[in-house]
């Protein structure tokens, strides 16, 4: 009996492929890329039953070659890299994988807050150069305790951030236009619902946890940075295009806000001349907040389970609604 073929749409190191294969069902075969190349994707997608998508673009041009494709399985929840209109016309379902994302991103959010507050990169790099900054960093280093954390977006990840932030002794505010939170859950998490404008005005830390849509694209810009406290910091572990990077650079350079921690960018990877690289009040990581071995195992287990449902004639779960 021939095996169901699954194409992993991003090129990755062999040890990443081994983690993926460790969760592969017995009657499935993993197809991988030899390099990050659209021509190779077009060739290999022809004979596969499923694709797993991380950051690779899924375009109409690519999908024309997908003659057997039964399901597009995104290994995360943000599917702005998929041409949904083309997929809809072709009648191919898109499955999402919320499993394995929330905890890693929430932990990374706390990591970035602390790293920005404690000047971690400056302290580390200076020490390697023989500089002992035991006292010079103190005037601009802070604790989370007693600060106000504003969460813009309060879905799965926003809630996980709130759970981890609460023991630090912060006041936690949130704004979400679409998600209802019961009074009991608000009390359990220790959070207050507030308007977007008040989040900006009252928060020492503004952290983004919303999807990228036409409504949210560029939501953090010159106007919203000016509405924040001068001592506030911005954290973005969601999507790069939520933030106008040019405006953020100006806000950081001119100290309109105090700092930022970013795991995502408008263009990924960012170009080497990105002006943010020149600043000492921003900490940058390469879209790795959910990039742990633990998360990858959980994601692949859930992704393959969805594909198995399809092979059994069952309806896959966590589908994108067209």
The pLDDT profile of the chain, 322 residues, written as one tens digit per residue, is 689 999 999 999 999 999 999 999 999 999 999 999 999 999 999 999 999 999 999 999 999 999 899 999 999 988 999 999 999 999 999 999 999 999 999 999 999 999 999 999 999 999 999 999 999 999 999 999 999 999 999 999 999 999 999 999 999 999 999 999 999 999 999 999 999 999 999 999 999 999 999 999 999 999 999 999 999 999 999 999 999 999 999 999 999 999 999 999 999 999 999 999 999 999 999 999 999 999 999 999 999 999 999 999 999 999 998 7
Angle at 317 between CA 104 and CA 103, to 5 degrees: 10
Q: Does residue 268 have an active-site annotation?
A: yes
* pLDDT at 161 (0 to 100): 98
Of the residues 11, 156, 217, 287, which is catalytic?
287
Chain center to CA of 122: 25
Domain contains 167:
yes
Domain contains 316:
no
Domain contains 73:
yes
* pLDDT at 1 (0 to 100): 63
Same domain, 51 and 159: no
Same domain, 38 and 115: no
Domain contains 31:
yes
**How many domains is the chain partitioned into structurally?**
2
Same domain, 116 and 206: yes
Domain contains 321:
no
What is d(CA 209, CA 157) in angstroms, rounded to the nearest whole number? 7
Q: Show the domain range for 65.
A: 4-100+292-311
Same domain, 224 and 297: no
What is d(CA 70, CA 30) in angstroms, rounded to the nearest whole number? 15
Q: Does residue 74 have an active-site annotation?
A: no
Domain contains 317:
no
Same domain, 135 and 8: no
Query: Are the beta carbons of 199 and 177 closer than 8 angstroms?
Result: no
* pLDDT at 120 (0 to 100): 98
Of the residues 159, 209, 239, 245, which is catalytic?
239
Strand partners for 220: 243
Same domain, 37 and 94: yes
Same domain, 111 and 239: yes
Same domain, 84 and 130: no
Same domain, 165 and 200: yes
* pLDDT at 90 (0 to 100): 93
* Residue whose entry in the numeric block shows the structure tokens 């992704």: 303
Same domain, 163 and 96: no
* CATH number of the structural domain spanning residue 38: 3.40.50.720
Same domain, 138 and 161: yes
* pLDDT at 322 (0 to 100): 72
Q: What is the DSSP string of 29-80?
A: EEE--SSS-HHHHHHHGGG-SEEEESSS-B-HHHHTT-SS--EEEESSS--T
**pTM: predicted TM-score of the whole model, two decimal places:** 0.91
Domain contains 318:
no
Same domain, 121 and 59: no
């Amino acid at each position: 009996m021939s095996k169901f073929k699954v194409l992993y749409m991003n090129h990755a190191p062999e040890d990443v492929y081994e983690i993926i294969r460790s969760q592969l069902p017995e009657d499935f075969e993993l197809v991988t890329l030899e390099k990050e190349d659209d021509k190779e994707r077009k060739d290999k997608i022809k004979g596969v039953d499923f694709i797993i998508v991380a950051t690779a673009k899924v375009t109409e041009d690519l999908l024309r070659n997908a003659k057997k494709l039964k399901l597009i399985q995104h290994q995360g929840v943000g599917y702005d890299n998929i041409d949904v209109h083309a997929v809809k016309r072709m009648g191919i379902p898109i499955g999402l994988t919320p499993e394995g994302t929330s905890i890693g991103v929430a932990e990374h959010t706390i990591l970035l807050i602390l790293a920005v507050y404690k000047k971690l990169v400056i302290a580390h790099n200076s020490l390697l150069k023989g500089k002992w900054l035991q006292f010079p960093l103190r005037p601009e280093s802070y604790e989370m305790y007693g600060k106000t954390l504003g969460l813009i977006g309060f879905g799965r990840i926003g809630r996980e951030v709130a759970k981890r932030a609460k023991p630090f002794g912060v006041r936690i505010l949130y704004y979400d236009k679409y998600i209802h939170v019961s009074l009991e859950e608000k009390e359990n998490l220790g959070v207050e619902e507030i308007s977007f404008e008040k989040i900006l005005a009252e928060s020492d830390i503004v952290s983004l946890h919303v999807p990228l849509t036409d409504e949210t694209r560029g939501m953090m810009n010159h106007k919203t940075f000016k509405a924040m406290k001068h001592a506030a910091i911005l954290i973005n572990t969601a999507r790069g295009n939520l933030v106008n990077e040019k405006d953020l650079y100006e806000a950081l350079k001119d100290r309109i806000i105090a700092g930022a921690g970013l795991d995502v960018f408008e263009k990924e990877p960012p170009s080497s001349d990105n002006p943010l690289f020149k600043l000492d009040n921003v900490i940058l990581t390469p879209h790795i907040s959910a990039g742990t071995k633990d998360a990858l195992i959980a994601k692949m287990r859930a992704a393959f389970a969805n594909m198995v449902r399809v092979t059994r004639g069952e309806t896959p779960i966590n589908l994108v609604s067209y």
